[in-house]
Structure 1
């Protein structure tokens, strides 16, 4: 398995073997390249403005990363990977990317009547969304 398997939709969300986890840690430490981020981001339904918000950088910084083909720092890389894993989990729970995307954009009573995607800017928010996906999977709703 390559270090980029995290972005591969064929790799299961709950892959927990040590090699996979170590690859994730190595990728975070090395930094996700803009090229790999771009490939993943193009398959997500988030705009460049939303990605900038989630990664706590300006759109201008994102443009500079693109121009210079720069890698993201470890904190940004970790957030990219957390969102990639959340997307994998969401697709597993909802059955396809389109249904998961609809859920992300629909206000949810259990989340304070906010759109789930509004929580993607923090690790605590991403954890909250993972927990909510588990509740949905097991039919435990708000």
Structure 2
């Protein structure tokens, strides 16, 4: 279980930090190591199928990439956006990974009755899901 620290009334897992937009672009162009996908999936125990879907690839293709090889630009960008979003969700739900996992799989009116996971098959979807989290942070109707 990850340790958490409180940062301005939010729980953030130790050692985790969000990436700025420019950092996402830079790292995406370089490519994230395949092993980073496993680390991100562990934050809230996402399945291999869910990770592959979120990275825009098939589970088979994801498994065929050795852990020391780099993901392509698109998959790297999605992985970094996912990491940022999961950090935000963990902060919103006070570090409770089970609640985050359930929330990701719950259809939301604000997302046109789709689940957050379903929305994150596009870059725009990542932004919409993050917007819902932001509204929850401020106690606004999501």
Q: State TM-score, norm by structure 1.
A: 0.78
Please name the residue that 2:56 is paired with: 56
Output the CA distance in 2 between the equivalents of 1:9 and 1:74.
26
Please name the residue that 1:65 is paired with: 65
Query: Secondary structure of the equivalent of 1:114?
Result: coil
Please name the residue that 2:106 is paired with: 106
> Cα RMSD over matched residues?
2.2
Please name the residue that 1:3 is paired with: none
Alignment map for 1:84-103 (pairs within 5 Å): 84-96=83-95, 97-103=97-103
- How much has 1:138 moved relative to structure 2? 1.2
| Stretch deviating more after TM superposition (25-34 or 128-137) | 25-34
Alignment map for 1:113-128 (pairs within 5 Å): 113-128=113-128
Please name the residue that 2:32 is paired with: 32
Aligned length: 129
Please name the residue that 2:130 is paired with: 130
Q: State TM-score, norm by structure 2.
A: 0.78
Output the CA distance in 2 between the equivalents of 1:37 and 1:107.
25
Structure 1 unmatched ranges of 5 or more: 1-7
Report the structure, 1 or 2, having the larger helix content.
1
Output the CA distance in 1 between the equivalents of 2:116 and 2:92.
15
Please name the residue that 1:45 is paired with: 45
Structure 2 unmatched ranges of 5 or more: 1-11
Output the CA distance in 2 between the equivalents of 1:50 and 1:131.
21
Output the CA distance in 2 between the equivalents of 1:53 and 1:105.
13
Query: Secondary structure of the equivalent of 1:131?
Result: helix
- How much has 1:22 moved relative to structure 2? 5.4
Report the structure, 1 or 2, having the larger strand content.
2
- How much has 1:132 moved relative to structure 2? 0.6
